[in-house]
Amino acid sequence: MRLGEPIRRIERIQNLDRIAAFAKQLVDRAIPKGKARDLLHGVPIGHPAHPLLVQVPIGTWLSATLLDMVPGGGPGLRRSAHLLVNIGLLAAVPTAVAGWVDLTQQHERQQRTGVVHALANGTGILLFGLSSLARSRGQQSMGALLGGMGMSAVAVGGMLGGHLSYYRSSGANRADYLIDRMPSEWQEIGRVEDFPEGRPSRVDVGEVPLAVVRTGGQVHALVGVCSHLGGPLEKGEVDRGCLRCPWH
C-alpha cells in the first residue's frame, strides 16, 4: 500500500469539518477581509505566503536538531541550537497564521487534511517550546530529545503539506493552463450592448471561457476561471471594481 492512501483516508473523516468550521469563524473574526488577510494569503507576491514562511521554522529547527546530534558538542553548539530553536518558534507564529488563513478558503477535502497538517505542526511547535524551556534550565539532553520529537512531528506535517500542494493543488493557479490556449490575435466576442451593465457574462473563445463585464462604458474581459479555486467567474458578482468568485 502506498503512503498516499492513508493520507487520502483523512479526507473522508467528516468530524474534522467541525474544527475547520471553528477555525474559519476565528479567522473571519480576527482577520477580516482586507489588506492584512491579502498579505497573509500572499497576494502582494502573487502566490501563497505560507510555503515561503515555513522555510524559516523548518530550517532553524532542522539545524538545531543536527547540532544536537554532534558528538561531544560544547557550550557553543548548545547555545547555537537553543538560539535556532527560539528563532523557529518566533517564525512559527506568522507561518501558522498564514496557514490557517489559507486553510479556510479550501474545499472540504483539503480542509480535512489541512486540519491534521496543522495539528501535526502545532504538536511540533509545542514540543520545540518545551525543548527551549528545558534548554534554558540546563537540561540539554531533555531539550535535544524534545527537539527530535518536535522535528518528527513537523516532518509529518510537512508530508501532509506536500500532499495538499502537489496532490490536491492547494494554492496552485487553477487558470494557468488556459493562458496558453488563448489565441494571440484579437477576437470578436460581441457588441458592447450585448453585455449587461455591472454583471458578468460568459463568452467562449476557442477552449477558453471568458468572464466579460461592462462597467461605466468600459468592457473588461478576464479568463473566466478563478485562479484560486477554479470557480466560474461569470457567476460571480461585481464588488467595488472587482469580480468576486462565487466560491469565495
Each residue's pLDDT tens digit, 14-35: 999 999 999 999 999 999 888 9
**Backbone dihedral angles phi then psi of residue 231, each to the nearest 5 degrees:** -70, 155
Summarised one tens digit per residue, pLDDT across range 98-140 is: 999 999 988 889 999 999 999 999 999 999 999 999 999 999 9
Q: Where is the domain boundary, 167, 184, 199?
A: 167
**Backbone dihedral angles phi then psi of residue 222, each to the nearest 5 degrees:** -125, 155
User: Are 37 and 71 within one domain?
Assistant: yes
User: Are 8 and 106 within one domain?
Assistant: yes
- DSSP class of residue 165 equals I
Residue with cell 506536500: 162
Q: Which helix (H) or strand (E) holds 163?
A: none
- DSSP class of residue 27 equals H
User: Are 203 and 132 within one domain?
Assistant: no
CATH number at residue 198: 2.102.10.10
Closest CA to 64 of 76, 78, 81: 81
Question: Structural domain of residue 132, as residue ranges?
Answer: 4-167
Bridge-partner residues for 114, per DSSP?
none
User: Are 27 and 136 within one domain?
Assistant: yes
Q: What is the pTM of this model?
A: 0.82
Residue 154 has pLDDT above 90, yes or no: yes
Beta strands in 162-217 (DSSP E): 201-205, 208-215
Amino acid in the structure at residue 37: R
Q: Which helix (H) or strand (E) holds 242?
A: strand 242-244
Residue 158 has pLDDT above 90, yes or no: yes
User: Are 134 and 71 within one domain?
Assistant: yes
User: Are 91 and 45 within one domain?
Assistant: yes
Summarised one tens digit per residue, pLDDT across range 47-106 is: 899 999 999 999 999 999 999 999 988 899 999 999 999 999 999 999 999 999 999 988
C-alpha cell at 53: 514562511
User: Are 145 and 65 within one domain?
Assistant: yes
Q: How far apart are CA 126 and CA 148, in angstroms?
A: 12
User: Are 114 and 67 within one domain?
Assistant: yes
Q: Which residues touch 122 (CB under 8 Å, ≥6 apart)?
A: 96
C-alpha cell at 152: 518528527
Average pLDDT of the chain to the nearest whole number? 91
User: Are 163 and 180 within one domain?
Assistant: no
User: Are 104 and 209 within one domain?
Assistant: no
User: Are 230 and 107 within one domain?
Assistant: no
User: Are 156 and 54 within one domain?
Assistant: yes
**Confidence band, pLDDT 50/70/90 cuts, at residue 1:** low
Q: Where is the domain boundary, 147, 167, 187?
A: 167
Residue 198 has pLDDT above 80, yes or no: yes
Domain count, the chain: 2
Q: Where is the domain boundary, 134, 167, 200?
A: 167
